[in-house]
Amino acid sequence: MKTSGGSDAAKRRAGEHAADLVTDGDVVGLGTGSTAAHAIRALGRAVDAGLDVQGVATSYASRDLAREVGLPLVELGAVSRIDLAIDGADQVSDDLALIKGGGAAHAREKVVDAAAARFVVVADPSKETATLDRSVPVEVLPDARATVRRAVRDLDGEPTLRAAERKDGPVVTDNGNLVLDCDFGALPDPGSLATALATTPGVVAHGLFVDLADEVHVGHADGVRVRARD
């Protein structure tokens, strides 16, 4: 699984802390990224110890890891509820708005995280910020990349087509689409940008997760700090 910056020990603490919330019979959304991976591994160990749980994967990567650690999987369309989703973030603001999509998995993550009765974000301290200000990943239909680029510029953003690292050309998402990383500077009001992006034709999903997270579990050297939405 692709890693990002931040301490792996802090990510592990956060991931394992969130995995401890899972109880017998739960259906759990399995986020993508290096922090959520710690939760998936912890759940695999809990299954070995007798926990009855089913996971809903948010990407090929989280599905493959769940299989590797023996965590039973179920398709999103085959469940009537998701009790808890555990997912990472690229940035978390003071009011628990998120930027996600560093691994280009945000489209399916948003479906699963939003469907969960409880959405728990796991992070290391490097992800915390007062105001979101990272580039916002925007998944676009390949044919719409030029029109979406123009729309992003009209919103005062600067879009960059995400390039693949070990392949010539762009990143192609699990859904067969492309990603524009859009720099809008600081986002004091991410909700209005989220609406503008969501209503742009050709946008499949953007990486702003506003009013979705219920809790953030941040791993520290001496434990885990939990922040809950008011």
Ligand X SMILES: O=C[C@H](O)[C@H](O)[C@H](O)COP(=O)(O)O
Binding residue ranges for substrate: 32-35, 87-90, 100-103, 127
Nearer to ligand X by Cβ, of 54 and 135: the residue is: 135
Q: Which of 16, 68, 109, 158 is catalytic?
A: 109
Please state the closest distance from residue 109 (CB atom) to ligand X, in A. 5
Residue recorded with tokens 């591994």: 41
Nearer to ligand X by Cβ, of 23 and 160: the residue is: 160
Q: How many residues does the chain have?
A: 230
Binding site feature residues: 32-35, 87-90, 100-103, 127
- Interface positions with ligand X (CB under 6 A): 3-4, 31-36, 87-90, 100-106, 109
Q: Are 122 and 36 in contact (CB under 8 A)?
A: yes
Nearer to ligand X by Cβ, of 80 and 198: the residue is: 198
Please state the closest distance from residue 65 (CB atom) to ligand X, in A. 12
205's tokens? 């999903």
Q: How far from the centroid of its chain's Cα atoms is residue 191's Cα?
A: 17
Nearer to ligand X by Cβ, of 5 and 25: the residue is: 5
By beta carbon distance, the residue nearest ligand X is 33
Nearer to ligand X by Cβ, of 7 and 147: the residue is: 7
Residues 224, 81: Cα–Cα separation, whole Å: 28
Residues whose CB is less than 8 angstroms from the CB of residue 89 and which lie 6 or more positions away in sequence, other chains included:
98, 99, 100, 121, 123, 127, 209, 213, 216
CA angle 16, 18, 19 (to 5 degrees): 60
Please state the closest distance from residue 154 (CB atom) to ligand X, in A. 26
Please state the closest distance from residue 103 (CB atom) to ligand X, in A. 3
Respond yes or no: is residue 165 known to be catalytic: no
Q: Are 209 and 97 in contact (CB under 8 A)?
A: yes
The DSSP line for 40-84 is HHHHHHHHHTT---EEEESSHHHHHHHHHTT--B--GGG-S-B-E
Please state the closest distance from residue 121 (CB atom) to ligand X, in A. 9
To 10 degrees, the CA torsion angle through 86, 60, 109, 94? 60
Catalytic residue set: 109
